Amino acid sequence: MARRTITIPDVLPKLSAIVDLLTMEEREALMQHLSIQTYRKNELIYSEGEIPHYLYCLISGKVKIFKEGVGGRAQIVRVVRPVEYFGYRAAFATQDYLSSAAAFEATTIVRCPMKIVESLLQQNARLGWFFIQRLSASLGQADERTVSLTQKHIRGRLAESLLFLRDSYGLEEDGCTLSIYLSREDLANLSNMTTSNAIRTLSTFAAEHIVAIDGRKIKIMDETKLERISKIG
């Protein structure tokens, strides 16, 4: 059986955080300009240095926001979960993108031209407050992550990253397997360490029965100990 094509009316309930703030006229204007895009695993959504043209909302799948560092090694600065808006900070700052976004897995995204968003913002103060709140929360999280990734030791960084993934994407039905299967390289990029250090530290956690590893699947076996390692750094 062929997969049914997703339409704007299908995803509109997931956009309620914004749609419910709009008047009927504003809602109709928004719907006329929404489009649905699908991305394959590891496919770029936008790249560092590009001009931002769209507001994105992740409907399904998982997205990483990353920045290329010294020597071509990427640093994952945050992850995006359904249903979350992203890609708009650079437009509000009238800058090119300072980072890139790519799909962790098969992903569906709704996008809206920033020109339409900016027009709605000029008319609707509640919509402006919506974005102010989210930008403020993101800034606070970024501050915390910066301190953690620069001051914690390797074990603390990896423990925090595993807990960060748990909090971002949750666990599978068994209550312990992370609902995201990262490559060791992505896990290292999220933890600000080399891939070899990530592999070695993850293996140590497994030997200590803190986690269990099955390929890219990671099970958290001792959550209390993992949280303690993250806390003491």
The pLDDT tens digits for 116-159 are: 999 999 999 999 999 999 999 998 988 888 777 778 899 999 99
Confidence of residue 93 (pLDDT cuts 50, 70, 90): very high
Integer Cα distance of 175 and 169 in angstroms? 12
Tell me, what amino acid is at 41?
Answer: K
Residues in the chain: 233
For the record, the structure tokens of 150 come out as 């620069």
Please tell me which residue, 11 or 113, carries the higher pLDDT value.
113
Mean pLDDT of the chain: 92
Closest C-alpha to 58, from 76, 43, 38:
38
**According to DSSP H, which parts of 59-179 are helical?**
89-92, 114-123, 125-151, 154-169
Q: Where are the domains of the chain?
A: 8-149, 152-232
Confidence of residue 4 (pLDDT cuts 50, 70, 90): low
Which range among 70-79, 85-94, 98-107 shows the weakest confidence by mean pLDDT? Answer: 70-79
Specify the DSSP class assigned to residue 82: S
Q: Is the pLDDT of residue 3 over 70?
A: no
Q: Is 230 exposed, middle or buried (0-12, 13-18, 19+ CB in 10 A)?
A: buried
CB hemisphere CA count around 227 (13 angstroms): 5
Confidence of residue 232 (pLDDT cuts 50, 70, 90): confident
Percent of the chain clearing pLDDT 90 (strictly above): 82
Integer Cα distance of 48 and 100 in angstroms? 5
The residues near 1 (Cβ < 8 Å, ≥ 6 apart) are none
pTM of the model: 0.88
8-149: CATH topology is Jelly Rolls (2.60.120)
Class of 152-232 in CATH: mainly alpha
Q: Is the pLDDT of residue 8 over 60?
A: yes
Q: Is the pLDDT of residue 95 over 80?
A: yes
Integer Cα distance of 102 and 173 in angstroms? 26
